[in-house]
Amino acid sequence: MKIKEKQFLSEIDQHKGILYKLSKIYMDNHVDREDLFQEMLFQLWKSYENFKGVSKFSTWMYRVALNTALVYLKKDKKMPKSENLIEEIDIPDHSDHPEKEEQLNYFYRAVKDLNEVEKALIFLFLEGFSHREIAEQLGITEVNARVKLNRTKDKIQEIIKKQGYEF
């Protein structure tokens, strides 16, 4: 295997959680999440030769993966809808923190009601990006990122309340 391929695979292995999280935020079912994951991986590989190392790999990966998710979502909306023939199997979680799992389920259901930009804002916020970094990733001002993020957080809380979850 070439050195370039080894470096790419090593970086992807280190940061693949980014792709999983983006897939879960933007796609409702397992099959669509896998398709988006593969598309992001493909676009990252295609773009890898343009990665100059000026920024961290993860920063570059966020930008490529997020743009890919947004483009993929637009394409998906244009395609005629057919019924999903594959049902998702909900595997019960036997973790020690059922309350946390319940909170996450409410959160992900609420995120599904957000628009694409709001999903990107929340994703980047949860990944620990500063307001400045979020603004850079989305091509907006820092003040705009701060305002949109606060509004999006409020919107998520309202959606969760409507779902019946008590804070």
Q: What is the pTM of this model?
A: 0.69
User: Rounded mean pLDDT of 10-35?
Assistant: 92
CATH code 1.10.1740.10 region(s) in the chain = 1-86
Q: For 66-75, 89-98, 111-120, which range has the lowest pLDDT when averaged over its residues?
A: 89-98
Q: For position 41, what pLDDT does the model report?
A: 96
DSSP state of 138: H
To the question of domain 1-86 being in CATH 3.30.750.80, the answer is no
Instruction: Give the closest residue to 107 by CA, choosing from 145, 66, 159.
Output: 159
> What is the distance between the alpha carbons of residues 165 and 161, in angstroms, rounded to a whole number?
5
To the question of domain 93-167 being in CATH 1.10.10.10, the answer is yes
E strand map for 69-150: none
CATH code 1.10.10.10 region(s) in the chain = 93-167
Half-sphere exposure of 13 (CA within 13 A, CB side): 6
Question: Binning pLDDT at 50, 70 and 90, where does residue 108 land?
Answer: confident
The CB density around residue 44, as the number of other CB atoms within 10 Å, is: 22
Kindly state the percentage of the chain with pLDDT values over 70: 86
